[in-house]
């Protein structure tokens, strides 16, 4: 094969970095991620006219496909980024994550001071032509950094890695509560608990952690009107249920087979059609069967990673990859549940499908790290936790 007149070989005997990457990457997983990105472009194209109409006002007229063109820009940047990260060795991926964690944790701390307000919350830092949400980037870096910390326990059982990780988690959750962003806080806590269990967290400590999280939810319900209104709206149909009601209207309008591409009308009454509620737009224009197929695609990605990890003997890889795919699948589950009125409304995008710069680029980094960690490469450096003489769990 030739690219730009240059011969490119992907034979198994070829030891070039590109050929070695090609033969060691999880190609079925990569293919499913690329399919998901393609589905996202179709979904954004369907939702873009509704989003553009809501953004237009007065002298400002936004073209109907404004958000599609922007999403194409994010895809053009995000896919090469994902592929570049996927070429990292495990050691390089760990160092990359630790550096990224330090940078974006600092930016998360700066959000209350220099952040931009949107819909009553301060979660973004305004950059020229772009709003960046630090927690979106921090999540995958935190997952991999936590895995590195927890994996140290397999080298020295006396290290208090779980309490130390809990302190870092508490700091992040505290910063998210200030914004406020309880949805992201809940997701970060849930993924951390999954990783802690894999690292050998005692059941008693796990139970106490779950009770503490539930206690925090009760306190938030009592003292945070925003949370109380969302929960009451979900449980009793009280308060502001406009968003969820309009999302369900989209599903009713689409039925099993959908109204057809570009034929949806209920989407024009749906807030955030191109971001948080894009799943509802897909339901209206392509039908419930298409939504079910999309949910199966997310499930297939999660199961593919978990099955690949069944014979994984590196603690760092096991904890990091499980955390990354739990974050990915958990966020998709939360978004789809909110769209279907199965969970209280919260601002959380559908990974690789919703429009958004921070969300797409951060997820691209997360999936790049996942692809890097699940590569089957005998040339990659072996885990330091499995060298002769190292302690085993």
| Residue 153 to residue 146: CA distance in whole angstroms | 12
For the beta carbon of residue 169, count every other beta carbon within 10 angstroms.
20
pLDDT tens for each residue of 218-269: 777 676 666 666 676 666 555 567 888 889 999 999 899 989 888 888 989 8
Asked if the structure places residue 94 within a domain, the reply is yes
- Given this model, what pLDDT does residue 382 score? 43
Count of the separate structural domains present in the chain: 1
**Contact between residue 182 and residue 176 where contact means Cβ atoms under 8 Å apart:** yes
Q: What is the CA 150 to chain-centroid distance, rounded? A: 21
- Please indicate, yes or no, if residue 391 is contained in any of the structural domains: no
Of all helices (H) and strands (E), which one includes residue 331?
helix 315-339
Beta carbons of 384 and 25 less than 8 angstroms apart: no
Strand runs labelled E in the chain: 2-3, 6-7, 116-118, 121-127, 130-132
216: left (phi over 0), alpha (psi -120 to 50) or beta: alpha
- Give the domain extent around 140: 27-53+63-375
* pLDDT (tens digit per residue) in 63-77: 889 899 999 999 999
In a domain, 247, yes or no: yes
- Does 17 reside within a domain? no
Residue 114 lies in a domain: yes
Point out which residues pair with 121 in neighbouring strands: 118
List average pLDDT for each run of 10 residues in the chain, which is 393 residues long.
Answer: 50 69 88 96 93 73 87 94 93 94 94 80 79 91 95 85 90 89 88 91 80 77 68 62 86 91 88 90 94 96 93 91 95 93 82 90 96 72 42 38
> pTM of the predicted model, to two decimals?
0.86
């Amino acid at each position: 094969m030739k690219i730009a007149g240059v011969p490119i070989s992907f034979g198994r005997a070829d030891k070039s970095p590109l050929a070695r990457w090609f033969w060691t990457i999880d190609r079925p997983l990569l293919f499913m991620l690329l399919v998901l990105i393609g589905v996202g472009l179709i979904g954004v194209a369907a939702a873009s006219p509704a989003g553009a109409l809501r953004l237009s006002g007065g002298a400002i007229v936004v073209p109907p496909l404004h958000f599609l063109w922007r999403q194409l820009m994010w895809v053009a940047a995000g896919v090469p980024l994902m592929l570049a990260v996927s070429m990292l060795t495990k050691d390089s991926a760990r160092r990359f994550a630790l550096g990224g964690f330090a940078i974006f944790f600092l930016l998360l701390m700066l959000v209350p001071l220099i952040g931009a307000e949107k819909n009553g919350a301060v979660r973004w830092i305004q950059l020229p032509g772009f709003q960046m949400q630090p927690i979106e980037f921090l999540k995958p870096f935190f997952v991999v950094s936590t895995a590195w910390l927890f994996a140290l326990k397999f080298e020295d059982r006396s290290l208090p890695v779980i309490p130390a990780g809990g302190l870092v988690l508490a700091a992040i959750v505290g910063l998210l509560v200030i914004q406020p962003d309880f949805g992201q806080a809940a997701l970060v806590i849930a993924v951390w608990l999954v990783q802690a269990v894999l690292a050998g967290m005692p059941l008693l400590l796990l139970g106490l952690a779950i009770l503490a999280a539930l206690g925090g939810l009760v306190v938030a319900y009592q003292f945070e009107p925003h949370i109380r209104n969302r929960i009451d709206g979900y449980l009793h149909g009280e308060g502001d249920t406009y968003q969820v009601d309009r999302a369900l209207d989209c599903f009713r309008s689409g039925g099993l087979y959908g109204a057809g591409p570009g034929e949806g009308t209920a989407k024009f009454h749906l807030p955030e059609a191109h971001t948080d509620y894009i799943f509802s737009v897909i339901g209206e224009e392509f039908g419930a069967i298409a939504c079910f197929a999309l949910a199966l695609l997310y499930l297939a990605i999660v199961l593919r990673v978990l099955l690949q990890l069944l014979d994984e003997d590196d603690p760092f890889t096991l904890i990091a990859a499980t955390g990354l795919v739990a974050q990915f699948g958990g966020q998709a589950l939360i978004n789809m549940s909110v769209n279907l009125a199965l969970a209280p409304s919260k601002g959380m995008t559908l990974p690789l499908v919703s429009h958004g710069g921070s969300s797409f680029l951060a997820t691209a980094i997360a999936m790049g790290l996942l692809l890097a960690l699940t590569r089957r490469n005998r040339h990659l450096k072996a885990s330091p936790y499995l060298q002769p003489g190292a302690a085993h769990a």
